[in-house]
Amino acid sequence: MKKWLYLVVAFLFMIFLSLMSLRLGAVPVSFQDVWASLLHENNKFLFIIYEVRLPRVLVGILAGFGLAVGGVILQSIMRNPLASPDVIGITKGAGLSASAVIFLFPKSPAYILPLAALAGAFLAFAILLALSRRLTLSPASLALIGIALGAVFQAGTQYLIVRHPTDINMALLWLAGSLWSKRWETVWSLLPWITVLLPIVWWNYAKLNIFQLGDDTTASLGLNIVRQRFWLLLLAVGLAGISVSAVGAIGFIGLIAPHMARSLVGARHQWLLPLAALLGADLMLLGDCLGRIIIIPREVPVGIMTAVIGAPYFIYLLRKERQRKW
């Protein structure tokens, strides 16, 4: 199948899942009523569709874009197929910061939580940068230091949970990752970041292609390895950090979506980046749809569902890699 056909199929699947997400839930809505609500025709489902479910769908799409593209960047510049925002501690740094706000400042305004999570993501990046500066930001040092930082941040989060056992509901929901209660404010907070950063990343697809050739070849082609790796890392942190700040610590999107896209269109980033973004949105919406219909009227957080979807595929990748080495 031609590469552009994969993009079309992934896009159409995203539209289908969006419509299903608007339709499914504790209150099922027919496609006719969904369409009428989207056209602002006055009916009894207008509030549910336009004020509750539509922003939820848009947040899922935007966050899926950000997490997947952030994962592509990390896997490319670190030349590590297991790299993701989790690996370099970004998600766990955001989780610790958000947990601190939830537990220590429970009466703070709602907008403080995503800001704190974003600040935690960039703080994790700053610490990673400081610790690996003498190691010239090599892929191996980034991965090892990131894993260590993630473990420290995770320990801090667990300590807060142990110290405040009566106030863990909101923290656990955020740490699991959820699209529950997302409103238009979250859409507007995500949209500027995603619409600005994604074109910048795509504009640098040629540099990402070159990084696949190794540091020696990259340097021989005239690229400043440390500087370019720093700016690309900053883009990945920005995309992952703003996405995590909006939807919580959702893990497998940034790991699995790039793998799926690479298996379909190869490693050329002019194709890999847009397909990974679409597949990230597809995984997010699929997990959200499944989580809302399993135990109606309750919901399973989308982070749990994406882990359930992603784990079998991840095991398949490991088995495939092992067979290839043997």
Q: Using 50, 70 and 90 to split pLDDT, how confident is the model at 134?
A: low
What is the reported pLDDT for 19?
92
What is the reported pLDDT for 326?
46
What is the per-residue pLDDT across 88-115, written as a single tens digit (0 to 9) for each?
788 889 888 988 888 888 788 877 888 8
Alpha helices in the chain (DSSP H): 3-23, 31-38, 46-47, 54-78, 90-104, 112-132, 139-163, 169-176, 184-203, 205-211, 215-220, 225-247, 253-265, 269-293, 302-325
- What is the distance, to the nearest Å, from the Cα of residue 227 to the centroid of all Cα atoms in its chain? 25
The domain spanning residue 51 has which CATH number? 1.10.3470.10
Mean predicted lDDT score pLDDT of the chain: 85
The encoded tokens of residue 293 equal 């219909």
What is the per-residue pLDDT across 182-221, written as a single tens digit (0 to 9) for each?
889 889 989 999 999 999 999 999 888 888 877 777 777 7
The Cα-based distances of 266 to 217, 255, 258, 263, 309 in angstroms read: 20, 16, 10, 6, 22
Model confidence, pTM: 0.89
Q: What total number of domains does the chain contain?
A: 1
Euclidean distance between CA atoms 215 and 223, whole angstroms: 9
What is the reported pLDDT for 271?
93
List the domain range (segments joined by +) for residue 150.
3-325
